[in-house]
Structure formats: structure tokens, C-alpha cells
């Protein structure tokens, strides 16, 4: 199936502005869901009702958009027993909770551009996570 590629700047701007409106479409006649269908004669994307055969032209070439949202925190996946991991680097920074001086440290787990390098410490005695 060949899809016509948008060639003009105006059409590309229109496509970008419509990305927010992608969602299910419904029939104006019977209120059932419209499904994407190719019009092979006109080489156009259409939406068609499976119940009453109502058809309308698609306003965008995009029929589905999967938007992933990452909500992992800076210490995601860190458990209190990481102190027993012999592969992590050790430090003698004092724990603010139990005042023990042995702890392991690791870098922030956030992978965003604006995140600065942060070190997190985990106390080997009580498992308290601190900066």
C-alpha cells in the first residue's frame, strides 16, 4: 500500500497541529465507531462505519499515536538491600538517620536532558537513601 507523502510545508504544519486530536472517531448517523480504510481509487485515507457504511475523509494520515509517559523517579529500582552488593562503590559518608559511616553510592536514574548528575547514597546498616 503506497501512501502519498505530504510535500508542502503548509501540509506538514497542519499535520503537526492535528496530532493532539488523534483519537477514536464516531459515525454521525448511527454513533458506532469509524475504522480507517484506504480509498484505492483516490489514494486517500477514509474512515468508514462497519454498521451503516457511512464514510468520511480522514483529516490526518495518522490513525493511532502511542504516547509513552515515563514516570520513573530518580531512585527507581533501588531497594534497601543494595548495601550488600559488592559491585557498587563504597563511601564513608555518614548516614543522617543512624549515623553509620559505611554506605554505597550510585548516580541518578533519571535520563532527561535537564537532569544534573546527582549521587545517591544508601546506608549499609539501615538502608536509608539520602543525597
Predicted confidence (pLDDT) per residue in 43-95, tens digit: 999 999 999 989 999 888 887 777 766 555 555 556 666 777 788 888 888 98
The cell for 31 is: 454513533
Q: Considering the entire predicted model, what is its pTM?
A: 0.40
Residue 32 pLDDT more than 90?
Answer: yes
Average pLDDT over residues 22-48: 90
The H helix count followed by the E strand count for the chain is: 1, 8
State what percent of residues in the chain have pLDDT above 90.
Answer: 21
Residue 28 C-beta-side C-alpha neighbours within 13 Å: 4
- The pLDDT of residue 74 is 55
Amino acid at each position: 500500500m503506497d501512501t502519498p507523502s505530504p510535500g508542502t510545508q503548509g501540509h506538514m504544519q497542519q499535520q503537526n497541529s492535528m496530532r493532539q486530536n488523534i483519537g477514536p472517531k464516531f459515525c454521525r448517523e448511527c454513533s458506532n465507531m469509524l475504522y480507517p480504510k484506504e480509498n484505492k481509487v483516490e489514494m486517500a485515507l477514509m474512515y468508514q462505519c462497519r454498521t451503516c457504511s457511512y464514510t468520511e475523509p480522514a483529516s490526518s494520515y495518522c490513525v493511532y499515536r502511542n504516547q509513552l509517559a515515563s514516570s520513573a523517579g530518580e531512585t527507581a529500582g533501588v531497594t534497601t538491600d543494595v548495601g550488600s552488593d559488592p559491585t557498587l562503590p563504597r563511601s564513608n559518608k555518614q548516614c543522617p538517620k543512624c549515623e553509620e559511616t559505611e554506605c554505597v553510592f550510585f548516580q541518578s536514574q533519571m535520563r532527561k536532558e535537564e537532569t544534573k548528575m546527582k549521587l545517591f547514597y544508601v546506608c549499609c546498616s539501615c538502608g536509608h537513601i539520602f543525597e
